[in-house]
Amino acid sequence: MVELLLKLIDRVIDLKKYQADRLKKAVESDLDPVFDELMAVHGDYVRMFEDALAQLMAIEDSTTTLGRQKLAAAAEALRHRRLEFEPVRAKIMAMSAEMGRSIADGSSNWGCREAEQFVRDTMEYLPRGNLGDGKSRATTLLALLYGASVLTPDQMHRHGAGLPPLIRATIDECRSKWDRVCVSYAQLKTAVREAQ
């Protein structure tokens, strides 16, 4: 009887070890790369928006022809910077969407609420504009910069002053969402260590 009980305990221990190893491998193969790539994208986004803000702040009078040319140049610089990380952003978005579907349909192999929270926070981080059109923050800002570069002086006085606060708010939002990603990633790594 005692021998059967010991065998049962051994099987339970083996099952827990198997689950912990499976979780660790899934995190290392799926979620660690997502975090690393998202960290690079986050750094790029913050630098990109800070550079755009600096360019805007350097424009003395955006209602002049020179000012509108500088706005157009800022928009072009932003467009170019976006292209650098486009493949990584697209990959992260595709991976996160697929992971989100696996969570929703119950087919994820993590079996860990921390992993699922990390995926949700990653999906939440992925930049989307606030205009309800599904565009990224940078796409939205790019459209606004290009639009501002062709405004009349009167329109620019009414609408152009809102661009720097919009960029600052975007930077703050990126940082806030990144903080949530980092917290959920730390919780995930702690859960993996504790499962071992």
- Which tens digits make up the pLDDT trace of 115-143? 889 988 988 887 554 434 456 666 777 77
Residue 36: pLDDT over 90: yes
Please report, for the chain, the start and end positions of each structural domain, with discontinuous segments joined by +: 2-195
Distance CA 19, CA 108 (A): 13
Residue 190 tokens, joined: 């702690």
Residue 16: pLDDT over 70: no
Mean pLDDT value across residues 28-55 = 90
Distance CA 188, CA 115 (A): 6
Distance CA 69, CA 149 (A): 7
- Residue 84's pLDDT band, with cuts at 50, 70 and 90, is confident
Residues 6+ apart with CB under 8 A from 47: none
Distance CA 76, CA 15 (A): 56
Mean pLDDT value across residues 92-107 = 77
Distance CA 108, CA 100 (A): 9
